[in-house]
Structure formats: structure tokens, C-alpha cells
Chains A and B, each alone.
Chain A
């Protein structure tokens, strides 16, 4: 719950926060207020389709979430609209509350996992037009990720080309669980387009591609679905690096969103060792996997790593050696929200916190200085 404070106290709190460090939130989720809201952005053929069939992604992957829409209990707006769908309430509860300089919207409405790819493309277009009109134009602090039908490289590239030059779009969004590992050829057109528009590729927690959620089959619980997501991220890093995607698209930048980062140092060690043994299978790689990772990847902080002892966090950050690649995120309005005031322990160096809270994102997404 948001804590009620007297206006005066609140102003002081806000001022103190501002004097400490700017906040850029790299993971906010905007939702549709209703099905009807998107239909006006769809051409007649797909509007009818949406009315008749709704969304048809890969089904049979139901892990009832901890909360409705996985949202914080207090994030349901007084307007009665779904959590994350009311811009005024988002301003009040997030942007103003934390005095945010910028926030990046990652719209998770499933356009990328539609079985009907043509519909997925039309739905993506509709969502992006809706994002421009309903979010980016009315709120100058917000930026958004381009929603794409990511299981088809060409359709995705077309949508990136269509809206990629709009100044409000700062990233292209795919899900962590795709049909195939993201290094495979079928996704390359998408990376070409990312490079063309100088947009980072954001890989966000979630997705359902019809593949079992683990390499050992389908688990039973939401806890496994949720806590097991870093395994999907690890697989995507391995694939992108070993398929030589960064040799082909040297300008490509990848942001791993909501996947954690403590698993990355051991993955780099394992990949480096494995690559030394198996180099001949991937002759196109020009450098150590860990070097490629440190050049091309960024990671958001939420859900923040919380080792049992503070010194382990310090060790982890040193092993990771990517201080300038960590980006603060809240994951608003989801239940596992990270607070800008608490997520990054104040015992970490001030410069580090400044980088994570705002400056790393500022330079990646090219936001103007405060």
C-alpha cells in the first residue's frame, strides 16, 4: 500500500529524493482499459477477427498468478479500470510519487505470441498506435517499447520500420520464452531493423511459446514458472552469443528485463570454458563469449538480487563487472514491484547507485541530461 503522508512532508520527501539521485524506471507495464479500446486501432478485418476469436496464443500453460493480473493490490485505479491502464493513476502512484524523470513502458499484451501471425502483426500495429495516442503523446516522461509479432522476423522488421523513428519508441520488445532460441536465423530480420533504427532489443520476463517451461518438461506451480524464468534468459544469452548474432549485427544492443543478473557471471565462466573446447563448431565467433556479453548486454535490476549477506552482493557485482550496464526498474504495477527508495542498498557506492538509478539508462536510451 502507498503510505499516506501530509502534503508538506511529501514535498520534503520528494525534494530529498530528487537531491539524492534521478530515477529512470526501465520497466513499467501499461494495460488496455478494455477490449474495445484496441478495436478502434484495428482495420475492419482484424477488428472482426478480434471480436470473433479474441486472442489465440499458445494455450495449455495456465499458472494462476499470485494476484489478479499479477498486480499489486493497491494498483487498481479508483476509476475501476484494470491495473496499469489508467494514465492519471499511473502518474499519481508511480511517476509523481517517485519523481521519475523517465519511464519505459513494456506492453505485455501478447501480440508476439499469436498463433495467427497476420493477426499478431495487425494487433502489434494497433497496440503501437494506441501507445502513441494514449500514453506517449499525453505524458512526456513516458517512452515505450515497440510491440512486434516476434515469431516472424519479416513482419517484425516491417513494424519496427513503421514506427521505429517515432521519438517515443526507445526499444523493441520480445518475450524471454520464444518458440526458438533467439539466435536462430528466423529472428535475424528483426535485428537488422533494430540496428537500422538504433533501437535496443528488450527481452522481457514471460511469454509462452508452446514449449515446456523447462528443459526437463512442464512444472506444476506458478512459483516454478516465476522463479524458473532466469533459465529462459540464460538460454537466450547462450543462443544469441553462440549463433554469432553480434558478429552479424555489431550494433545490436540487448536489454534483459526482469530476469535477474546473479546467474550471469557463472554463465559467462561456463560459456567461455565450453567455447574453448568447442570452438570449431562456431567458427564465426570473434571473441570470448564473456567479452561479447559485456559489450552487447544490459540488465534491469528488478527483481533485485538479495543474497543473504551484503558482502555477497558486492562480490557478485565485482564478478559481473558490468556496473554501467545495470538499469533500475520497478515492474509497476506488478506484485513484485521494487521501490526506488529501497531496491538498491544505500551501502553501495553513490556513483554506482547513480548509474543504476538513471545514468546507465540515460546513455543507453539517449535521454537528454536532467
Chain B
């Protein structure tokens, strides 16, 4: 099995201080900055961590490499695990600070995580609010064999198909990296097309719509036409909505393709070719037959990649990471081969 979504957690901003230049150390000290203003996983809700994932060494769940490896790679007998560090520097509007933080995080990941176990791979954190700076960071670290992906928060200031992101995609392609779009982020835009909701529940349940908008943007802006080698992973956004999105986009494309003449094929073909989705959280229908229907409608056996989303709590017991709604016949693809091909592992 290959696990496409394991979260390594920065214990605190303090951890990065040794990797920062003196200017930024002083800046952080003087401003009492404690890190990006993101609250994607409110601690008290239980969602950030399943019980038993807090390391004995102290620190938050996901912060201790040895303990994380024991609870994931060893416990689930994984062939490989991909780390997704969701330290969203995109929320820091000072782009240069964001850039310095990303550089520090990636160096820390290389030194602290990629050396901890040969089965671990990691994702580059980049200041994507400034695609030129993001490209610089990708060029700095992208050659490292441990990094297999550039990770972006699904909530962006501008949709990801916009041409301003081209330098970022070009850099990712130069280094043969997947672009992963992950649950969360706080760009300053409201999380819905209708403004700010009241509750975390709304934001959490509603995150799938932001994924849908990003897929729509990437296709309609011709990102995959400009970059035929580009691979995009949608991580922790659910997947049961994908058939309905494919149908809507294909139908609307037939009516409005003159608006986006560079899109030569039905959008669902681009999705099947360029996009993969991770498994957890599974927004399962009430009947397992309906899950089979969804899998067939979206070609799930080819598009889904196994993920535990460790240490997040979408299920309770470790063995429940493998949802029983999925039929055995797809496990070789969803469990291993799709990720191996997509990430070229």
C-alpha cells in the first residue's frame, strides 16, 4: 500500500528559527508572530487527531517522525507514505516572510523527515501567492528525490487555472513533481461564493465546493492544454461529488465551448487524464451498492489513490482507514498502483 496523505506537523514556529535569516528571526521576535492565521482543524473538535496519535515525546500529533512512522508505515505495513505538511504560508500576506518560512519548512522536512525513514516522501511548501517566488523555491529543492509534490491549499486568492500560476507549474514540471491541492487554507476570500458562513461545520462540509471550483478553473483556463504533462492531486476533499461535476462540466462545455476555445475535449477527459483524488475522507452513501455506482461513474478504480489522512479523525480505529465500502477488486489499483504511476514512485 502507498499512503498519499500523511500529515507531518510543525511542532511550533520555534522549530523553524534555526533555518531563518537573522532579519526574519528579529521580525518574528519583535512582532510576536506565531505563524499563519489558519484554523482548518480546531483542536477541540477531535478532527485534527484520532485518539492515541499524540506522541509520547510531547508535541502535537504528527510532529514526531519516529512515532509517526511507527503508527503509519509500520502499523499499516506501507510501502511508501507521502507527507503533506499543511503549514499554509499562503495566509501570510507578507510574501517575503511567507517565502522565508517555506524555505525553512522544506529544509526542515529534508533534514528532519526525509532522513527519518526511506519509505517517506514529502511535499514542498511554497509561497504560491507569489508564483515567481514559489517557482524559485521549487527550483531550490525540487531536485531532492524525497520531494514528489508541491502542495497548495484549496482556498486560494485567485483560482489555480489563472495564468499567473504558470511559473509555478513550469517549475513543478521541470522537476517532475505532482501539484497537490489540499483541504484548507485561508486566503482572505470567503470560503463560499455567498460569503462567510457562521460555523466550522459549514466551512468543513463546504470545502468540496472549493475543490470543484479549482477543477473548473484548471480546465477552463487551458492549464492542461498548456502543460500536457501536468498532474494534479486533489487531497482530502472527498470524491463522491466527482461524477456530478464531470457531467455538469461536459454539458456546459458543449453549450459554451466558444468561450474557452482552447479546451478541445470534454472536460471529463482532462480530469481522467490529469487529476487524481485521495480516498479519505470517504463521504459514503448509505448503501454500499451506491458507492459502487459512484466508483463506476467516475472510473474510481483509476482515479482514486489510497490515503489514511493520518492523524486526522475521519474514522476511529486504525484498521478503519480502509473503508469497507470499497470492493476488494479495486485495491491493487486504488491501494498502490494508481499512486505509483501518478507520483512515479
Query: Residues on A close to B: CB < 8 A?
Result: 66, 176-184, 209, 211-224, 226-228, 230-232, 234-236, 238-239, 242-243, 260, 262-263, 265-267, 269-271, 273-275, 277-278, 281-282, 303, 305-308, 312, 315-316, 318-319, 335-336
Given A215-B193, A281-B199, decide whether A223 and B159 contact each other with a Cβ distance below 8 A.
Answer: no
Distance (whole angstroms) from the CB of A278 to the closest CB of chain B: 4
Nearest-CB distance from B211 to chain A (Å)? 9
Alpha-carbon gap, A265 to B217, bound state (A): 23
Complex CA distance for A184 and B194, rounded to whole angstroms: 11
State the CA gap A266–B220 with chains docked (Å). 24
Q: How far is the CA of A179 from the CA of B252 in the complex (A)?
A: 26
Contact in complex: A66, B259 (CB < 8 Å): yes
Interchain nearest-CB distance for B275 vs A (Å): 15
Q: What residues on B are CB-neighbors of A315 within 8 Å?
A: 290, 293, 297
Interface residues as binary, B221-260 with A (CB distance below 8 Å gives 1, 0 otherwise): 1000000000000000010110111011111110111111
Is B187 part of the binding interface, using a Cβ–Cβ cutoff of 8 Å?
yes
Q: Evaluate contact between B213 and A270: CB separation under 8 angstroms.
A: no
Q: How far is the CA of A319 from the CA of B286 in the complex (A)?
A: 9
Q: Which of B154, B160, B213, B285 has the most C-beta atoms of chain A within 10 angstroms of its own C-beta? A: B213
Query: CB distance B199 to A282 under 8 Å?
Result: yes
Q: Do A239 and B202 touch (CB < 8 A)?
A: yes
- What residues on B are CB-neighbors of A216 within 8 Å? 154-160, 187, 189, 210, 213-214, 217
Which residues on A sit within 8 Å (CB–CB) of B259?
A: 66, 221-223
Q: Could you show 8 A-B contacts with beta carbons less than 8 Å apart?
A: A183-B197, A219-B213, A220-B159, A220-B217, A227-B216, A235-B206, A243-B199, A262-B247
B283 beta carbon closer than 8 Å to chain A = yes
Q: Is the CB of B195 within 8 A of A211?
A: yes
Q: Which of B154, B193, B249 contacts A177 (CB 8 A)?
A: B193
Which of chain A's residues have a CB closer than 8 A to the CB of B196?
180-181
Q: With A235-B197, A239-B202, A277-B46 given, can you name 19 additional A-B contacts, CB distance below 8 Å?
A: A182-B194, A212-B190, A214-B214, A215-B155, A215-B192, A216-B210, A218-B158, A223-B257, A224-B217, A224-B220, A227-B249, A228-B213, A230-B248, A231-B193, A263-B244, A270-B283, A275-B205, A307-B247, A312-B293
Interface size, chain B (Cβ < 8 Å): 71
Residues of A within 8 A of B253 (CB): 223, 227
Pick the residue among A181, A222, A278, A306 that contacts B251 (CB under 8 A).
Answer: A306
Contacts of B187 in A (CB 8 A): 216-217
Contact of B205 among A176, A212, A270 (CB under 8 A): A270
Residues of A within 8 A of B213 (CB): 213-216, 219, 224, 228, 231
Q: A184-B198, A227-B252, A277-B47 are in contact. Are A232 and B205 (CB under 8 A)?
A: no
| A305 CB contacts on chain B under 8 angstroms | 244, 247-248, 251
Residues of A within 8 A of B194 (CB): 176-182, 209, 211, 232, 235-236, 239
Please determine whether A221 and B260 come into contact, CB atoms closer than 8 angstroms: yes
Q: Which residue, A180, A226, A227, has most C-beta atoms of chain B within 10 A?
A: A227
Tell whether, in the assembled complex, residue B216 and residue A219 are in contact, meaning their CB atoms are under 8 Å apart: yes
A contact residues around B20 at 8 Å (CB): none
Please tell me if the beta carbons of A282 and B159 are within 8 angstroms of each other in the complex. Answer: no
Find residues 289-332 in chain B having any chain A CB closer than 8 Å to their own CB.
Answer: 290, 293-294, 297, 313
Q: Could you say which residues of chain B place their CB within 8 Å of the CB of A278?
A: 45, 47, 199-201, 204
Contact of A267 with B241 in the complex, beta carbons under 8 Å: yes
Cα–Cα distance between A268 and B247 once the two chains are bound (Å)? 18
Residue of B nearest to A261 (CB): B244
Residue B162 is within 8 A (CB to CB) of chain A in the complex: yes
**9 tightest CB-CB pairs across the interface, nearest first?**
A214-B213, A262-B244, A215-B210, A235-B192, A227-B252, A270-B283, A231-B209, A266-B240, A232-B193
**Quick check: B162 and A220 within 8 Å, CB to CB?**
yes
Q: How far is the CA of A235 from the CA of B192 in the complex (A)?
A: 6
Residues of A within 8 A of B283 (CB): 266, 269-270, 273
Beta-carbon contact of A270 and B208 below 8 Å: yes
CA distance in complex: A305, B156 (Å): 29
CB within 8 Å for A273 and B195 given contacts A217-B158, A221-B259, A239-B202: no
Residues of B within 8 A of A243 (CB): 198-199
Query: Scoring B residues 249 to 289 as 1 if CB is less than 8 Å from chain A, else 0, what string do you get?
Result: 11111011111100000001000000000000101111000
Question: Is B191 interfacial (CB 8 A cutoff)?
Answer: yes
Q: Which of A230, A238, A263, A312 contacts B197, CB < 8 Å?
A: A238
C-alpha spacing A271/B221, complex, angstroms: 30
Kindly list chain B residues whose C-beta atoms are within 8 Å of the C-beta of A215: 154-155, 189-193, 206-207, 209-210, 213
Inter-chain contacts of A212 with B (CB < 8 A) = 189-190, 193
Residues of chain A contacted by B45 (CB below 8 angstroms): 277-278, 281
Q: Using known A-B contacts A278-B204, A315-B297, determine if residue A66 contacts B255 with beta carbons closer than 8 Å.
A: yes
Alpha-carbon separation in the docked complex, A277 to B207 (Å): 15
Residue B53 at the chain A interface, CB threshold 8 Å: no
Give B205 Cβ to nearest chain A Cβ, in Å: 4
Q: How far is the CB of B191 from chain A (nearest CB, A)?
A: 5
Known pairs A179-B195, A180-B195, A227-B252; A221 contacts B220 (CB<8 A): yes
In the assembled complex, the CB of A221 is this many whole angstroms from the nearest CB of chain B, namely 5
When the two chains form their complex, are residues A270 and B238 in contact, meaning their CB atoms are under 8 A apart? yes
Report the bound CA distance from A35 to B292 in whole Å. Answer: 55
Within 8 A of A (CB), among B143-165: 154-162
- Give every chain B residue within 8 A of A235 (Cβ-Cβ): 192-194, 197, 202, 206, 209
Which residues of B sit under 8 angstroms from A277, Cβ to Cβ? Answer: 45-47, 313
A218 and B313 alpha carbons, distance in the complex (Å): 32
User: Bound state CA distance, A319 and B162, in angstroms?
Assistant: 35
Cα–Cα distance between A210 and B157 once the two chains are bound (Å): 15
Are the C-beta atoms of A271 and B205 separated by less than 8 Å? yes
Rounded to whole angstroms, the CA-CA distance of A235 and B199 in the bound complex is 12
Query: Which residue from chain A places its CB closest to the CB of B46 in the assembled complex?
Result: A277
Asked if residues B217 and A312 are in contact (CB atoms below 8 Å), the reply is: no
Residues of B within 8 A of A183 (CB): 197-198
